[in-house]
Chains A and B, each alone.
Chain A
Amino acid sequence: MNAYLAFLKKEFYDYLRSYKLFVLMMVFLALGFLNPISARYLPEVAASLLPDGIQIQLPQPEVMDSWAQFYKNISQIGIIILLIVFSTMISNELQKGTLIHLLTKGLSRTTILLAKYSSALLVWTCCYGISFLVTYLYNFMFWPLTNVPHLLLGIFCIWLFGCLLLALLLLGGVLTKTSIGSLLCTGGFFLICMGMSLFPPLQEIQPAILITNSISLLQGQSLPADYLVPILLALLLIGISLSSAVVIFRHQQL
């Protein structure tokens, strides 16, 4: 346990010194501001850019537009930047050989991987939380009287999918020892999910539905029960990829 905490602390120093934490915080903060503001003012800006004399009827912006922006921005830009920043989490140390010293001092390989995963998870949770909080407060300011159904579950779905992608990133890093390899592993998984969504029976259970479709939960077009299987599948996949990463890493020549 002590070794785990010490390694976790080392990881956080690393994030601070390599500016990773700073970059992620800034990006997620910016995304948090971007969602409500673009939802609220984009129709007005678009109208003002039209030449004089042309009148078009633009729908009144609603709180749902802002949450739709949140879903779109976090699940695209947010997650891509998260993955790019964390893609070097294993490969950097393996290529520079900085883990050897720690391993010879008796730190177990399982501890290293688990500490790395939990530090990435903690950073993702904090950044995502900041983004959510900013969007939520702005939405409350712009549309004080609107209530959104199943907001927390919808938010949880994206968070869980982020956790799954981080676990796959770790597995990819252990398998290929390069940052490109970990990104390809994660991207490959996403493509498989997209491929599964082409077949009707698999469409409903593939985990990528958590980010591509859970906005319909907020819009009231689907029910929480529809997401039970994808959530369980995502949890199972996190377990499988973490444990296989640990098993592979324990038998690997560094």
Chain B
Amino acid sequence: MQTLIDHLPLLLPLIIIELTLAFSALFHVLRHPHYRFGNRYIWIFVVLLLQFFGPIIYFVFGRGEE
């Protein structure tokens, strides 16, 4: 645990990027009710739990038309 705390400043950029991706995808899921497939609950689950890949899959394949 101590090692993790010591290295937090270096890990911070990665954590920030992952959270930016996850939350921008989450806001998009919540604000747009139409998806190419799946429903809102599946997509919330996917973007929050699959790190990096979840938001990418959502933006590329799941995002519905505006």
Contact = CB atoms under 8 A, between A and B. Distances in A.
Contact of B7 (A41, A81, A84): A41
Contact of A48 (B3, B10, B11, B52): B3
Interface in A37-84: 37, 41, 44-45, 48, 81, 84
Nearest to A96: B65
A29 interface: yes
Nearest to B17: A30
- Interface residues of chain A: helix, strand, loop or mixed (majority): helix
A37 B10 contact: yes
Interface stretch (A19-27, A117-125, A184-192, A200-208): A19-27
Given A18-B63, A44-B3, A85-B60, A23 B55 contact: yes
B20 A19 contact: no
B56 A18 contact: no
Contact of A18 (B2, B17, B18, B59): B59
Contact of B56 (A27, A45, A48): A27
Contact of A26 (B2, B7, B17): B17
A26 B20 contact: yes
Contacts, number: 50
B56 to A, nearest CB: 5
B14 to A, nearest CB: 5
B21 interface: yes
Interface string A80-92: 0100110110000
Nearest to B55: A23
A205 to B, nearest CB: 34
B59 A37 contact: no
Interface residues of B, number: 19
Nearest to B57: A84
A175 interface: no
B24 interface: yes
Contacts of B24: 19, 22
Interface string B6-47: 010011011001101100100010000000000000000000
Contacts of B13: 29-30, 33
A34 B18 CA distance: 12
Contacts of B2: 48
A154 to B, nearest CB: 24
Contacts of B18: 30
A3 B28 CA distance: 33
Contacts of A45: 3, 7
Given A23-B21, A30-B52, A33-B17, 9 more contacts: A18-B59, A19-B28, A23-B59, A26-B20, A27-B52, A29-B13, A30-B18, A37-B11, A45-B3
16 contacts: A18-B59, A18-B63, A19-B28, A20-B59, A23-B59, A26-B21, A27-B52, A30-B13, A34-B14, A37-B7, A37-B10, A41-B10, A45-B7, A48-B3, A85-B56, A87-B60
Which 4 residue pairs of A and B lie closest in terms of their CB atoms, listed nearest first?
A30-B17, A19-B59, A48-B3, A33-B13
